[in-house]
Amino acid sequence: MHQDIGLKLSRVPRLWRAILDERLAPLELTQTRWVTLYHLSKMGDGQPQCDLARSIGVEAPSLVRTLDQLTEQGLIERRPSDEDRRTKRVYLTDKATPLLKKIETVVEQARVEMIEGLSDDDVDQLDAILTRIEQNGQRLLSRSSCEE
């Protein structure tokens, strides 16, 4: 049974994103765009591009094209950092607000449906377990990158 835990841990996020992709398709947002907007809204305005990329789990250069597209759509602005001219900070525009409300509504509804049948205690326990697994993974990853 424990052997399947890795497979389940990889399948659940794929299911989660597939459900959200399907439900967000009418908003004409690709997965990379809605994920970027959603992360930025949760992190707060003025995030350095590299921090936003890290939060999403992509390399900073990979995020540039998505940010270009979101800028063209008028949903974000990139501004130079006051502290470091090489750093660009990302800000949501007013145009993004109603879209983010729609995304949040879809995400919340999917969340409710995905955890259907779980008690509040179950969800709290799941959250604690996933946090511990994530911390273990981060520790392992930082240990392996230090050994190189």
pLDDT at 61: 86
59's CB contacts (< 8 A; 6+ apart) are 53
For the cut 80, the answer to whether the pLDDT of residue 5 exceeds it is: yes
Place 146 in a pLDDT band, splitting at 50, 70 and 90.
low
- The pTM of the full predicted model, rounded to 2 decimals, is 0.76
pLDDT at 125: 97
Q: Are residues 91 and 140 in the same domain?
A: no
pLDDT at 68: 95
pLDDT at 84: 80
Q: Tokens 């270009």 correspond to what residue?
A: 68
Structural domains counted in the chain: 2
User: Which residue did the predictor score with more confidence, 11 or 85?
Assistant: 11
Beta-sheet strands, E only, within the chain? 47-48, 76-80, 88-92
Burial of 58 (0-12, 13-18, 19+ CB in 10 A): middle
For the cut 90, the answer to whether the pLDDT of residue 113 exceeds it is: yes
Question: Rounded mean pLDDT of 37-55?
Answer: 91
Place 145 in a pLDDT band, splitting at 50, 70 and 90.
low
Q: Are residues 102 and 143 in the same domain?
A: no
Q: Are residues 108 and 145 in the same domain?
A: no
Residue 132, domain extent: 119-148
Q: Are residues 74 and 98 in the same domain?
A: yes
Place 147 in a pLDDT band, splitting at 50, 70 and 90.
low
What are the C-alpha distances in Å from 24 to residues 29, 52, 64, 116, 131?
7, 21, 22, 21, 27
- The pLDDT mean for the chain works out to 90
- CATH number at 83 reads 1.10.10.10
Neighbouring C-beta atoms of residue 98, cutoff 10 Å? 9
pLDDT at 126: 95
